[in-house]
Amino acid sequence: MHHRVVVKIGSSSLTSPEGGLNREAVQFFAAELAGLRESGYQVLLVTSGAVAAGFREIGYAERPKLLHEKQAAAAVGQALLMQTYRAAFQLHGIPAAQVLLTRTDFLNRKRMGNASMAVEELLKQGVLPIINENDTVSIDELKFGDNDTLSALVANLLKADHLVILTDTEGLYTKDPRIDPAATRIERVSEFTDEIYAIAGGSGSKVGTGGMRSKIDAAKIATRGGVPVFIGKGGLPGELLRAVEGKGRGTYFETSLSSLPMKKQWLGFLSTPLGTLLVDEGAETAMIYGGRSLLPVGVRAVEGDFHTGDVVEVVNEKREVLGRGIVNYDVVHLKDVLGLPSQEVMKKMDGIHRLEVIHRDEWISLK
């Protein structure tokens, strides 16, 4: 069975600092991806660069800031990007296909399933899928953030063995290496602590939209779905293969978790919580470490306006997010039974459909 690798390449790696497509860079990465395939890996590419490739072509002096301008630049740039990729992969005898996705595709589980089947068929036929956000129709509130999040969601959806996020720095450093020469690279990360997030900076280039923070977020999503992640450089011949084999110039994010079902991916990373439940220490322990459902006795407070079947976020007494789940109570009814033992809840809520506030099968831990 082929090892499946998702490779994400950002705008700064594919375009010049002033904007416009760097065709030599596209050809280089096509050769690197071809090398991965020759080594026996099944490869999917998540690419950015449509807006950066198109804004000069359309006549803008600099990367546009208004949404309709970015959408127009993307419409031109996406065609240029795919044309250049297809020509580059043809040099290696590799057919390539364009797959454009938006966050709303992932919000709908049926559309997620359809997208997954289409990509699986492309891979079965030996075609290299080139996946990008559909920038021409996306709105800012639903964008993926330079496709870092998109690459993680694709890796989880298609049960990849590796996610490689290529960037213009050698992974995660203790401090900004462009400013502080004493900064040292963090070789491996096994836990997403506050310290890890504190040292992740903002956007590193003028043509991209993602920074190290968005890459850390993507790594957390992918590893939570059982996919190990590499974030680092891949600008030298053979470096992409070395990154996949554990010898890359960057940071490796490890995981011991198994892949997530599609429902749990949607619940954890794509759903919109309509309320918040604050739980006590006993409930936190039961849910996080005991694999138990949440009962009314463990709920201390509720916020928001939600109904049975809605998604809610669960926090502990320190306001730390524990996870998300599908709630079995309307907010009005839940407020009536907060902190009550199960027998009292059943007496008070005559004819209750389900005792659990959140059943463990409709819950995902994000801690």
Which amino acid, one-letter code, is at 114?
N
Binding site residues, as ranges?
A: 8, 48, 135, 147, 167-168, 209-215
Q: What is the DSSP string of 58-88?
A: HT-SS---SHHHHHHHHHHHHHHHHHHHHHH
Length of the chain measured in residues: 367
Name the one residue in this structure whose structure tokens are 């322990």. 285
What is the tens place of the pLDDT at every residue in 74-91? Answer: 899 899 999 999 999 999
Q: Mapped to the 3 state alphabet, what secondary structure does 190-226 carry?
A: CCCCHHHHHCCCCECCCCCCCEHHHHHHHHHHHHHCC
State the pLDDT at residue 137: 65
Nearest to 311 by CA among 279, 348, 349, 263: 263
Binding site residues for substrate, as ranges?
A: 48, 135, 147
Where in 217-271 does DSSP place strands (E)?
229-232, 250-253
State the pLDDT at residue 249: 93
What is the tens place of the pLDDT at every residue in 198-218? Answer: 887 544 444 333 478 889 989
Q: Report d(CA 355, CA 328) in Å as an integer.
A: 8
Binding site residues for ATP, as ranges?
A: 8, 167-168, 209-215
Q: Which regions of the chain are under pLDDT 70?
A: 1, 135-146, 201-210, 351-352
Nearest to 33 by CA among 67, 65, 69, 7: 7
pTM, two decimals, is 0.82
State the pLDDT at residue 194: 82
The three-point CA angle 215-126-43 to 5° equals 20
Across the chain, which distance is largest between two alpha carbons, in Å? 72
State the pLDDT at residue 269: 83
Domains and CATH numbers, the chain: 3-261 (3.40.1160.10), 271-365 (2.30.130.10)
